Structure 1
Amino acid sequence: MEKPAHIVIVPSPGFSHLISIIEFSKRLIHHSNGLLQVTCLIPTLDSPSETSKAILQTLPSTIHSTFLPSIHFTKETQTPIAVQVQLAVTRSIPFIREALKALSSGSRLVAMVADLFASDALVCAKEHNLLSFVYFPSSAMTLSFCLYLPKLDQEVPSEFRDLSEPVEIPGCVPIYGKDLPKPVQDRTGQMYEFFLKRCEQLHEADGVLVNSFKGIEEGPIRALAEEGYGYPNVYPIGPIMQTGLGDVRNGSECLRWLENQVPNSVVYVSFGSGGTLSQDQLNELALGLELSGQKFLWVVRAPSESANSAYLNSQSDDPLRFLPDGFIERTKEQGLVVPSWAPQVQVLGHEATGGFLTHCGWNSTLESAMNGVPLIAWPLFAEQRMNAVMLNDGLKVALRPKANENGLVGGEEVAKVITRLIEGEEGREIGRRMQNLKNAGAEALQVEGSSTKTLIQFAVNLIGN
């Protein structure tokens, strides 16, 4: 009997990327009828987090995982986190080669799937004559931009943020240069150089698996499939999202508190697994929540001038001590403040949750859509501004607060937007659109749904290779 087809998965360091590609691996195995096996080779910066380890312990026996030796940067390094993540993969290539050599002696290796920021690893796939795929955990709109960027790089001599007209990405809502992903905001920097290289590598892959579905991004997905652009095959297989991590930090407290609230009355406030605010912005957000008079559940992190400072590192400071004096006491009947983490999937699925003030990370966006929760868009870094434009201008499922001349969103503006979402007709209309997205997402995941059929065909192709 022929051995099962074996694929190797390479995520990039960072919790949000790991969880998405792990969920993809689980779904791929589920739809392969036992004819596929998966090995995850996980590059690491410093040491793996306890949460990452806990996730891997829940995997089925057909998915094996190995943390590769840690790559360390000195504390004094000025290398941006996004670049460190990619360099960690590049410096892990010798370990990946070694692992592939060992696997190939006893397995029928057929393909490698690498996260976008781990695409340097695909050189190892070519060396072993494996099919090479990129797993793209963000939106189809962002993928469209990434595939379009090499051409844009040749055509536009100036900084993109200085363009007077919006960029017309095939199939997408027009977007101004200032809202393009963070790595392309300075074309002279190292981050841009690395990001452009990743976008060029997309064109070299045998295909790209994107975590989206037709019901939420019909235009971009249709454009990605059109001939004439020279794009690789694109497989829309979303929504792929976590179903709950079993982490008990603050979990039971959050859910108990929500049980005592009126349906659709609570604004959930969280900036994802890595987002942070400055001290001034933290103060204004606190003021706005208090002024709104609306119920809130706020996941607070210690402030930082770097918007993604918690992306790889857990913070040791008690974040609650950075809140304005007396805030927790004054709002104890109005809201619940929890440090660093909450069970987001369960919170968004709770009937009391009526809105989500979010950084617009794609994982959080999909989790909101699949629970029909209206949004307040507050992007911080990466491609989040692009997602915010799509959610606000394109899908019209989010309100977006306006910043003042200092770049801060003031407390009164926060209060106004929250009230509009929870109490206004505008918020109810957004809720109806979100419910439509929820239904479309559920339909895509059914046995005959577009995303399930796409993933099954992908698995069939791997098994027969």
Structure 2
Amino acid sequence: MAMKQKFHIAILPSPGISHLIPFVEFAKRLLLQNNNFHVTCIIPNNGPPSKATKAIVESLPTSIDSIFLPPVSFNDFPNGIVPILQIILTMSRSLPSLRHVLESLVSKAHLSAFLTDLFGTDTLDVAKEFNIPAFIFFPSPATVLSLFLMAPKLDVTVPCEFRDLPGPMEIPGAIPIRGKDLPEPFQNRKSEIYKCFLNLAKRLTEVEGIMVNTFTDMEFGAIKAMQHQKGEPNCIISPPVYPIGPIIQTGSSSDDHGSECSTWLDNQPCGSVLYVSFGSGGTLSTEQLKELALGLEMSGQKFLWVVRRSNELPSAAYLNSQLSQGDFDPSEVLPNGFLGRTKGQGLVVASWAPQIEILRHGSTGGFLTHCGWNSTLEGVMFGKPLIAWPLFAEQEMNAVMLVEVLKVALRPKASESGLIGREEIVKVVKGLIEGEEGKRLGQRMNDLKDAANRALSKDGSSTRALSELASKWQNLEASK
């Protein structure tokens, strides 16, 4: 009997653990639904891979290969470079080594598709050289994708800085969004970063399709606007869009922190604990860290808090494995006596904790999050209501959606200086864990969790979208 043909695709996430994880999990989901695919994950670098990156790669199934590209150098930036530019430049400076890898892969077998993300649009030229159909995997919300697809038009039609607009911006199908809540690169149109993003956005329409890590019931309006035919009212000109989420991290950890967290949670009452984490890259200033500590203490509520060294740059840990995962003594950054005073009330762990296990646990009643999309979807999948505390990237937009549209999150108010004070923290923590509003948020989050599970079921919308995509790749290969 003839062996079934294997279709081979290559995926290229941009640097950062929060980009690698959804790409890898997407590949696993594809293989689970279609066992006649083989995936090669190409990983760009600007230094040695972090411990977390190595752990993810080492746990890949045999049908996913991995190739680390040689690290690029930033020696021409002697005074350092902000994380967002590091990501964009790492991708563009990896083009020669990517060309070499694709050449090698194509010499062994046909590639049915090449997938990268928004930051990798420069790599589309290399895929084109080898005649490989190119796709974008957008691991953020459809609402943010619609903004990027509209960005070239907005750049021409909006005369002022977006943050100075008198009212919210109307993006077809999406939530009305205030200029001040747009992602950081949109806050200064004269900046190099904005120009980079505009160039990335202009290339989104060149691909054969865009996969989005979301599901129809969560962002119906934005998805519908992008799936409308050109010329229809309220449409966004876009390649075919495939909502295939929620895709979240699978697998667990046997790390020491893991057993410590699980054992502690096992001894807490059901739904009583607030989990506090700012993702793989978020950091708080020294002053904000102190206010959060005192607010948690004064609330009297149980908490499990992943503490990181303070830094004035909110995204400081994003590409810095020392900050994001380095072990240190949390007492170095917490108020004097805090750990002693809260010993029965809370558990503090340094830098990292097994988030999936914590959110899955019955004792966890809520999640204070930076609103990164991976963390947001994990909160949804485990039905935990949120406290929204956005820090950088598209997190402000995510927070607006969670608080104002989906109504599954509370958001503490910051002072004019941007600091969130301890009294405000007490108010939202108590409100979420023991207040009536917290119960209403919890019910809505459970409804969203049910909708997510329906989307991922055998005949669900996300399962169908992924099947449609797999068929498209197979047909593209057959037509060569």
Counterpart mapping for 1:169-184 below 5 A: 169-184=171-186
Could you list the per-position Cα deviations for residues 167-186 of structure 1 after superposition, in whole angstroms to 9, with x for gaps in the alignment? Answer: 11111111100000111111
- Paired residue type of 2:283: T
Counting matched residue pairs gives: 464
Q: Distance in 1 between matches of 2:254 and 2:311?
A: 25
Q: Distance in 2 between matches of 1:203 and 1:445?
A: 27
Aligned counterpart, 2:367: 356
Aligned counterpart, 2:452: 441
**Which of residues 366, 369, 379 is equivalent to 2:390?**
379
Aligned counterpart, 1:261: 268
In 2, are the aligned partners of 1:320 and 1:339 still within 8 Å (CA)?
no
Q: Distance in 1 between matches of 2:35 and 2:333?
A: 51
Aligned counterpart, 1:416: 427
Alpha-carbon distance change, 245 to 86 in structure 1, aligned in 2, over 3 angstroms: farther
- Paired residue type of 2:422: G
Deviation for aligned residue 1:464: 2.2
TM-score of the pair, normalised by structure 2: 0.95
**Which of residues 366, 378, 382 is equivalent to 1:367?**
378
- Paired residue type of 2:336: D
Aligned counterpart, 2:26: 24
Aligned counterpart, 1:453: 464
Deviation for aligned residue 1:4: 2.0
In 1, are the aligned partners of 2:11 and 2:39 still within 8 Å (CA)?
yes
Deviation for aligned residue 1:115: 1.6
Could you list the per-position Cα deviations for residues 195-245 of structure 1 after superposition, in whole angstroms to 9, with x for gaps in the alignment? Answer: 111111111111100000012111111111112232111000000010234
Deviation for aligned residue 1:247: 5.0
**Which of residues 320, 338, 344 is equivalent to 2:355?**
344
Could you list the per-position Cα deviations for residues 240-263 of structure 1 after superposition, in whole angstroms to 9, with x for gaps in the alignment? Answer: 010234251411101110001111
Could you list the per-position Cα deviations for residues 384-422 of structure 1 after superposition, in whole angstroms to 9, with x for gaps in the alignment? Answer: 000000000000000000001211000000001100111
Aligned counterpart, 2:340: 329
- Paired residue type of 2:87: V
Aligned counterpart, 2:109: 107
Q: Distance in 1 between matches of 2:390 and 2:17?
A: 18
**Which of residues 91, 110, 116 is equivalent to 2:93?**
91
- Paired residue type of 1:443: R
Q: SS of 2:206's equivalent?
A: coil
Deviation for aligned residue 1:29: 1.7
- Paired residue type of 1:363: N
Deviating more after overlay: 317-326 vs 295-304: 317-326
Q: Distance in 2 between matches of 1:47 and 1:168?
A: 43
Aligned counterpart, 1:272: 279
In 1, are the aligned partners of 2:226 and 2:237 still within 8 Å (CA)?
no
Deviation for aligned residue 1:109: 1.3
Q: SS of 2:136's equivalent?
A: strand
Q: SS of 1:203's equivalent?
A: helix
In 2, are the aligned partners of 1:376 and 1:401 still within 8 Å (CA)?
yes
Aligned counterpart, 1:246: 253
Question: Percent identity between the aligned chains?
Answer: 54
Q: Distance in 1 between matches of 2:170 and 2:401?
A: 13
Q: SS of 2:112's equivalent?
A: strand
Q: Distance in 1 between matches of 2:249 and 2:23?
A: 10
Q: Distance in 2 between matches of 1:161 and 1:344?
A: 34
Could you list the per-position Cα deviations for residues 137-183 of structure 1 after superposition, in whole angstroms to 9, with x for gaps in the alignment? Answer: 00011111111111101111211111111011111111100000111
Q: SS of 1:109's equivalent?
A: coil
Deviation for aligned residue 1:73: 2.0
What is the RMSD computed on CA atoms of the aligned residues? 1.3
Q: Distance in 2 between matches of 1:355 and 1:345?
A: 13
Counterpart mapping for 1:111-260 below 5 A: 111-228=113-230, 229-246=236-253, 248-260=255-267
Deviating more after overlay: 69-78 vs 223-232: 69-78
Q: Distance in 2 between matches of 1:104 and 1:124?
A: 12
Deviating more after overlay: 2-11 vs 149-158: 2-11
Aligned counterpart, 1:39: 40
Could you list the per-position Cα deviations for residues 434-461 of structure 1 after superposition, in whole angstroms to 9, with x for gaps in the alignment? Answer: 0001001111111101101110111111
Deviation for aligned residue 1:81: 1.0
Q: Distance in 2 between matches of 1:46 and 1:463?
A: 36
Deviating more after overlay: 308-317 vs 154-163: 308-317
Alpha-carbon distance change, 13 to 321 in structure 1, aligned in 2, over 3 angstroms: same
Unaligned runs of 5+ residues in structure 2 are 231-235
Q: Distance in 2 between matches of 1:193 and 1:252?
A: 46
Could you list the per-position Cα deviations for residues 88-131 of structure 1 after superposition, in whole angstroms to 9, with x for gaps in the alignment? Answer: 11111111111111111110112100022122111111111111
Q: Distance in 2 between matches of 1:249 and 1:388?
A: 32
Deviation for aligned residue 1:319: 3.9
